[in-house]
Copies of this chain bind each other. A is one copy, B any other.
């Protein structure tokens, strides 16, 4: 009986997409709640306001970095979901694991922002990115093994989706390893990896 129930559960890729879009939307919007404006009572002149906004630079940077990370993973998950012909119970739970990592991202970003001097904070942040990447990789491999991918998906596309995750995670791991030299260097490297995936300079060069 349990087997039958598990066969009929989690079939709808559309529902999974809707839940994922909702979680990404809330996570992206909640990030802004972490930015605390200077108290009106402590600001008396306009130059004080400008100085205190400038002093919030690390907060703005952390916000931008989190938004980029969420955007990159949203785009990556949507690419997979668009290629699934149907879902399955196990696939739904792999993606719930992925979404679990996504809901933790605002928290690990805040941890990184407050304890930027400690390698441990950066390793927690990296572990979070790794968990998201690993579940996405697992999702694709599971879908391939269980024939859940649209039959018209060419072999090159399938290979490209896997390779993409492996290369990105290798970049992230190397960037995170720099934290043992200096945590700020590591953050800079992670931001560079993210900007690479946002602007995709290689693509444009090849097109030109």
> CB within 8 Å of B: which residues of A?
1-6, 8-12, 15, 17-19, 21-33, 35, 37, 40, 43, 46, 49-50, 53, 64, 67, 71, 74-76, 78-79, 81-83, 89-90, 92-93, 96, 99-100, 103-104, 106-107, 110-111, 114-115, 118-121, 124, 156-157, 159-161, 163-164, 198-200, 202-203, 206-207
Contacts and interface: CB of A to CB of B under 8 A. Distances in A.
A164 B3 CA distance: 11
B26 A26 contact: yes
29 contacts: A1-B159, A1-B163, A4-B160, A5-B79, A5-B160, A5-B163, A6-B200, A8-B157, A9-B78, A9-B79, A10-B78, A12-B78, A15-B82, A19-B74, A21-B22, A21-B25, A22-B25, A25-B26, A28-B103, A31-B103, A37-B107, A37-B114, A40-B114, A49-B115, A53-B120, A67-B96, A71-B96, A75-B89, A93-B198
A5 to B, nearest CB: 4
A26 B169 CA distance: 28
A98 to B, nearest CB: 11
